[in-house]
């Protein structure tokens, strides 16, 4: 459903939690605006209280050979960078009133924006969905002794149910999951810290290991960036940008840093053989029995918290491609389809679940960094100007965005990628680790700034259904 064609005023959704959110990617009218920035604290904390976050921390001292101190610096730096960009994009949601990937039409043009929207739909709605579903299913299986496949089905059904109903239920789920997940993972982390040998690693990873870990942590935190405005577009247009950005960033930063550090510390007390075979079991088995079971439960709930957002926003990203679905609940239908596809992808990943995770994290960082370079530069260049017309006009073009995005992403990968299946030309002959996200961001941002004036079309006047207050 198009944001131009969709019925904007007759939604009757409001703050209903158990109603199916109508429409798809249309502008949110002022009569439907509700919410408070503080809710972003739990909306963005709960999705990170899951084992995937712990596993990123594990990579630092296990796969990348860092000391705990080196891993800590990489964790804080990489996560902070991803949270700063998350704050900026979240803060724009209330004034724009549109999903994040639709807001990207300013930088990419109507048709050009199909590229990042499609990538985000696949990466989030299917890629992240599969990763988190597997970790949640394995945790539930370890807790209940039920077959892995049945546990995967249970996890997926709950995730899809939350995402199917939509925006208000997603926020509500994260709110009620927040104290449960936060308390369990805080206690588990304290126990891990009390047992850890912080001097166990000799730090053989060096600068290369540090850049790999920083990139992985950035990719993990920034992985939420393409969803940012999806959860702030219902706020009133005059909502404080400072509070909106701050609470969104804090939600991601605090939850990520806590579990990333716990993962990095846990390596020193985990059985190496179990870690290689089943990282989830290796982490939870060092905890007291009661805490082990609670942590497994939290991992399962955390997977649902993460994937409710991945499915919901993945569906929105797909609809930004102007997918025509003749239904007033088009977004919900797409979310259901994503759930079915994601289930089969996750099923294929139940075996050897951790082997592909490192590469997946780095690939996420690669494309998002280049996308951010374009989007943030566009925000800067257009500061103080009205852009609504560019977001809702099908004929609007801005080929500076797609060109800068592709050149930045592909060029940085060809030169600096440092993963198992492909090592870039510079990374192959040096010990710089993985600077792909940094290089991709810089190339994309610089090229977009150069191409903006000659290639960005004139912003059309906003249609009548876009209120002037927004």
- What tokens appear for 158 in the block? 């709950």
pTM confidence score = 0.91
pLDDT band at 72 (very low <50, low <70, confident <90, very high): very high
CATH code, 405: 1.10.4160.10
Q: Given a cut of 60, is residue 1 above it in pLDDT?
A: no
Please tell me the predicted confidence (pLDDT) of residue 270. Answer: 95
Alpha helices in 32-128 (DSSP H): 39-43, 51-62, 68-96, 100-103, 105-108, 114-122
Separation of alpha carbons 103 and 54, rounded Å = 32
416 closest CA partner among 366, 374, 381, 455: 366
Q: How far apart are CA 450 and CA 411, in angstroms?
A: 17
Any domain includes 155: yes
8 A C-beta contact, residue 159 and residue 307: yes
Tell me, what's the pLDDT at 462?
Answer: 65
* Degrees, nearest 5: CA angle 359-138-49: 70
User: Mean pLDDT over all residues of the chain?
Assistant: 87
Confidence of residue 131 (pLDDT cuts 50, 70, 90): confident
State the residue for tokens 């979310």. Answer: 335
d(CA 236, CA 28): 10
Residue 6 falls within a domain, yes or no?
A: no
Q: Is the pLDDT of residue 301 over 70?
A: yes
Residue range of the domain that includes 241: 35-455
Q: How far apart are CA 336 and CA 156, in angstroms?
A: 10
d(CA 426, CA 414) in angstroms, rounded, equals 8
Give Cα separations from 156 to 259, 314, 332, 347 (angstroms): 23, 15, 15, 11
- Hey, how many other C-beta atoms are within 10 angstroms of the C-beta on 13? 18
Find the Cα–Cα–Cα–Cα dihedral 179, 183, 189, 190, rounded to 10°: 140
Q: What is the residue whose two structure tokens read 């996890």?
A: 155
Residues 6+ apart with CB under 8 A from 439: 411, 412, 415, 416
Q: How confident is the model at residue 326 (pLDDT cuts 50, 70, 90)?
A: low
Q: Distances from the Cα of 72 to the Cαs of 77, 265, 279, in angstroms?
A: 8, 10, 20
Does residue 18 lie within any of the structural domains? no
In a domain, 12, yes or no: no
- Flag whether 463 is in a domain: no
Any domain includes 387: yes
Q: Is residue 48 part of a domain?
A: yes
* 4 within domain boundaries: no
Mean pLDDT of 104-118: 94
Number of domains in the chain: 1
């Amino acid at each position: 459903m198009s944001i131009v064609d969709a019925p904007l005023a007759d939604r009757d959704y409001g703050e209903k939690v158990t109603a199916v959110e109508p429409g798809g990617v249309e502008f949110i009218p002022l009569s439907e605006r509700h919410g408070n920035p503080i809710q972003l604290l739990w909306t963005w904390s709960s999705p990170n209280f899951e084992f995937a976050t712990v596993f990123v921390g594990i990579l630092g001292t296990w796969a990348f050979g860092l000391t705990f101190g080196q891993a800590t610096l990489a964790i804080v730096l990489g996560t902070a960078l991803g949270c700063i960009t998350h704050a900026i994009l979240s803060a724009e949601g209330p004034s724009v009133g549109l999903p994040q990937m639709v807001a990207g039409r300013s930088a990419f043009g109507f048709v050009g924006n199909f590229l990042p929207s499609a990538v985000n739909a696949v990466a989030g709605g299917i890629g992240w969905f599969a990763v988190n579903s597997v970790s949640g299913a394995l945790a539930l299986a370890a807790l209940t002794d039920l077959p892995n496949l049945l546990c995967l089905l249970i996890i997926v059904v709950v995730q899809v149910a939350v995402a199917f109903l939509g925006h208000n239920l997603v926020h509500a789920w994260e709110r009620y999951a927040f104290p449960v997940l936060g308390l369990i993972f805080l206690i588990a982390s304290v126990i891990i810290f009390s047992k850890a040998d912080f001097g166990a690693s000799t730090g053989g990873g060096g600068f290369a290991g540090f850049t790999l870990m920083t990139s992985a942590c950035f990719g993990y935190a920034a992985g939420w960036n393409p969803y940012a405005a999806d959860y702030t577009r219902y706020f009133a247009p005059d909502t404080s940008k400072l509070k909106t950005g701050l609470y969104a960033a804090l939600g991601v930063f605090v939850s990520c840093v806590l579990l990333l550090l716990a993962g990095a510390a846990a390596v020193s007390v985990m059985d190496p053989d179990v870690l290689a075979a089943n990282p989830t079991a290796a982490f939870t088995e060092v905890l007291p029995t009661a805490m082990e079971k609670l942590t497994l439960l939290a991992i399962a709930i955390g997977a649902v918290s993460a994937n409710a957002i991945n499915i919901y926003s993945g569906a929105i990203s797909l609809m930004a491609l102007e997918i025509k679905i003749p239904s007033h609940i088009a977004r919900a239908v797409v979310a259901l389809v994503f759930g079915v596809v994601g289930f089969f992808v996750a099923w294929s990943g139940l075996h050897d679940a951790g082997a592909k995770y490192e590469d997946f994290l780095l690939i996420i960082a690669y494309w998002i960094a280049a996308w951010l370079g374009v989007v943030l530069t566009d925000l800067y260049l257009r500061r103080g100007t009205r852009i609504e017309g560019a977001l809702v006009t099908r004929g609007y073009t801005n080929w500076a965005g797609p060109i800068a995005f592709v050149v930045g992403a592909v060029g940085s990968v060809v030169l600096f990628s440092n993963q198992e299946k492909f090592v870039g030309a510079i990374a192959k002959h040096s010990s710089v680790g993985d600077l792909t996200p940094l290089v991709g961001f810089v190339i994309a941002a610089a090229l977009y700034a150069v191409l903006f004036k000659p290639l960005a079309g004139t912003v059309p006047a906003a249609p009548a259904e876009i209120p002037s207050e927004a």
